[in-house]
Structure 1
Amino acid sequence: MLYLSLRQLEYVVAVARAGSLTVAAQQVNVSQPALSVAITHVEAHLGQKLFLRRKGVPVTLTGFGRLFLADAEALLLRAARLEDPKALGLRRLERITLGIFEDLAPAYLAPLLRRLRDEFPDVEIRSKVATFEALADAVLAGQVDLALTYDLGLDASFQRELIVRVQPQAWLALDDPLAGRDEIRLSDLADRPLILSDQGLSIQHMLGLFRVLGATPVIAHRAASIEVLRSLAANGEGIGISYANPAGALSFDGKPVVRVQIADKHAEEPIVLVHCGDQPAPLPEIRAAILAATGGR
């Protein structure tokens, strides 16, 4: 509970600056007796004198009063900024939290952090890597200012800016009959055991792509990460499907793994930069830098 009001702090600052109760009372538009009572109340609560008040002599601060004045002025300044929309906008430029979907983070996060910190050295750049659901919740809760993710499970609460559209990749063992193709279609995989991400939205999306074809594929494994998915595929445990496309032709355990692009047009998925639709578009300079760095359009 706060025992001293902002108004009382304003009275203390006014008296300190004016050096006179009478002058300070005029400046804050209150009677001199009321101002004197307010100062006495503050001093009584603090248990120490803020001012030396003697007839015929300007009011002066005590040593304790000087310390208190500095803190009071700082608090009043912060309170004024809370009431000023323009000041709040400037405050937001001091720090930004960038969220990124966990499968996109290995490719995008480090380069984005490097670029943003180079271009905006006075801005504190934070990051949050999360699942679809956790990232969406963080944006709506104001914990993340901007998020880079796939356009899955996002309703009208989110404003989107397109970064790029990507096709899914099929991950296969080196000796798989489909490994030599330049591209394949989902119909080629409909009767093959699949390895999909273990995230609910991702699985629903993938199964939805097959439903368009009237197919219901078998899910052999639900992988916790793209590297687990690639390792399972490289070891012949099924065909992995993912939109993540990490470099390299070896799985994490050193086995050869082949990627073949899935060509179905309806499988194309946008990567988007999103923010909460109930709030003004945040930090246009930083949004523009992210779009430029990722090739957004």
Structure 2
Amino acid sequence: MSPDSPIPDFTLRQLAYLVAAADDGTIAAAAARLHVSASAISDAISELERSLGAHLAIRRRAHGLTLTSAGAHVVAQARPLLAAARELATSLAADGALVGPITIACFPTLAPTILPPLLAGFAAEHPGVDLRVVETTQDGLAGRIESGEIDVAFVYETLVPGNPRRRRLYALPAHVVLAADDPLAAQPTVRLETLVDRDLILLDAPPSSEHTLSLFAARGLTPRIRQRVRSYEAVRTLVGRGLGYGILVQRPANAASYEGFPLALREIEPAVGPVGVDVLWSADADAPPRVRALIDFATSLEWPAPR
């Protein structure tokens, strides 16, 4: 492309095909997802390379597609361009209303608290917005906010890959979950030293597991883990059966396990610091109006407080 040319020689479609192939790892996978032929994507990438005068990707039949340094640069620059193009098309059809998709990521342990008011309340106010939910752990967020694959994420105050913008929704200290007939349930608070020789049902999902173990480590203690489970409700169910105790942050209104066994929630003594729950979004690009509206809606709600 000539430096004096007012119009680039490449197209948004060529950029989109390169980004898709980079994301999927192979041209065949990108073609299947986009419902086009593999040759269409391959030809588009070749045309883009000719237009830019740079080799963007190494294509090997058995090893998929690998971006060159120039290709990685183009993909990074193409993402906000493609997002802006999608927003332009959406805004012209909106007639002033908020429309279009929002992809929401949420930690599984937060989903029962965060998602219902968003999917009910925000959706009722803005029926033209399509809310799409992705439940994922901290590890599953890597790069997905920066790439634009996820618009907003609801997470615990913790280390999240990248440097996204954030707002605090609420903060709760961890508490001990006991079977209602456990002798410790008769006490208003529980010391970790009292629990250390008992069986712990550990919520083994980052960052919950790390936080629980850090509470003990801060006091020079090592808990005796009986079971590691990935589900918040599995912890409460096993505790309700009398198989151990749990340490959790979220506080559901229903004080019974999934099976209906009564549970007791007790604060930890001495008090532990609260765990923040934040909403995150990309710092690399301006959030479209519908995403900003969702963030404002989420931060305006009354979220749970310690009981």
TM-score by length of 1: 0.65
Read off the aligned partner of 1:207 and give its amino acid letter.
Answer: L
Question: How far is 1:264 from its partner?
Answer: 4.5
Q: 1:256 to 1:285 in 2, by over 3 A?
A: closer
Compute the displacement of 1:143 (Å): 1.5
- Cα offset for 1:200? 4.0
Structure 1 residue corresponding to 2:242, chosen from 236, 247, 254: 236
Q: Which amino acid aligns with 1:123?
A: V
How far 1:149 sits from its partner (Å)?
1.3
Give the gaps of 5 or more residues in structure 2.
1-6, 10-80, 93-97
The verdict on how the C-alpha distance between 1:137 and 1:225 changes in structure 2, with shifts beyond 3 A counting, is farther
Question: Is the CA contact (8 Å cut-off) linking 2:106 and 2:154 kept in structure 1?
Answer: yes
- Per-residue CA distance 1:259-278 (angstroms, 9 max, x = gap): 21335444410000011233
Q: CA deviation at 1:207?
A: 1.0
Give the superposition deviation at 1:137: 4.4
After superposition, residues 243-282 of structure 1 pair within 5 angstroms as: 243-281=249-287
Report what 1:87 is aligned to.
Answer: 88
Cα distance in 2 between the residues matched to 1:83 and 1:175: 58
- Give 1:168 deviation, angstroms: 1.4
Deviates more, 1:283-292 or 1:83-92: 83-92
Q: 2:181 aligns with which of 175, 185, 206?
A: 175
Structure-to-structure mapping, 1:47-62, within 5 angstroms: none
Within the alignment, does 1:286 sit opposite 2:294 as a pair? yes
CA gap of 1:131–1:86, structure 2 versus 1, over 3 A, is closer
What's the offset of the Cα at 1:235?
1.6
Contact 2:141 2:161 in 1 (8 A): no
Q: CA deviation at 1:152?
A: 2.4
Q: CA deviation at 1:201?
A: 2.9
Following the alignment from structure 2 to structure 1, what is the Cα–Cα distance between the partners of residues 211 and 257?
25
Q: How does 1:1-297 map to 2 (within 5 A)?
A: 87=88, 90=91, 94-155=100-161, 157-281=163-287, 283-295=291-303
Partners of 1:81 and 1:87 within 8 A in 2? no
Structure 1 residues 122, 148: CA separation in 2 closer, same or farther (over 3 Å shift)?
same
Q: Judging changes above 3 Å, is the alpha-carbon distance between structure 1 residues 83 and 98 closer, same or farther for their aligned structure 2 residues? A: closer
CA contact (8 A) 2:138 2:206 kept: no
What is the CA distance between 1:285 and its match in structure 2? 2.1
Which protein has the larger Cα radius of gyration, Structure 1 or Structure 2? 1
Residue type of the partner of 1:102?
A: P
Point out where structure 1 has 5 or more consecutive residues left out of the alignment: 8-79
- The 8 Å contact of residues 210 and 216 in structure 1, kept in 2 or not, is answered as yes
Name the CA shift for 1:200/1:102 in 2 (closer, same or farther; >3 Å). closer
Whole-Å separation in 2 of the counterparts to 1:145 and 1:108: 15
Residue correspondences, number: 220
Contact preservation (8 Å) 1:167, 1:263: no
Contact 2:174 2:272 in 1 (8 A): no
Residues 161 and 183 (structure 1), Cα distance of their counterparts in 2 relative to 1, 3 Å cut:
same
Amino acid at match of 1:188: T
Normalized against structure 2, the TM-score is what? 0.63
> Which piece of structure 1 moves more, 258-267 or 217-226?
258-267
- Alpha-carbon distance between aligned partners in 2 of 1:143 and 1:84, rounded to the nearest angstrom: 15
Cα contact 2:164–2:280 (8 A) shared by 1: yes
Q: Distance in 2 between matches of 1:220 and 1:82?
A: 48
Percentage of matched positions with identical amino acids = 30
Change beyond 3 A, Cα 1:141–1:189: farther
**Residue 106 of structure 1 aligns to which amino acid in structure 2?**
P
| 1:192-237 alpha-carbon deviations (Å, 9 max, x no partner) | 2211112143212211121111111111111221221111111221
Amino acid at match of 2:179: A
SS in 2 for 1:149: strand
Look up the SS of the partner of 1:102 in the other structure.
coil
- Please report how far the alpha carbon of residue 242 of structure 1 lies from its aligned counterpart in structure 2 after TM superposition: 0.9
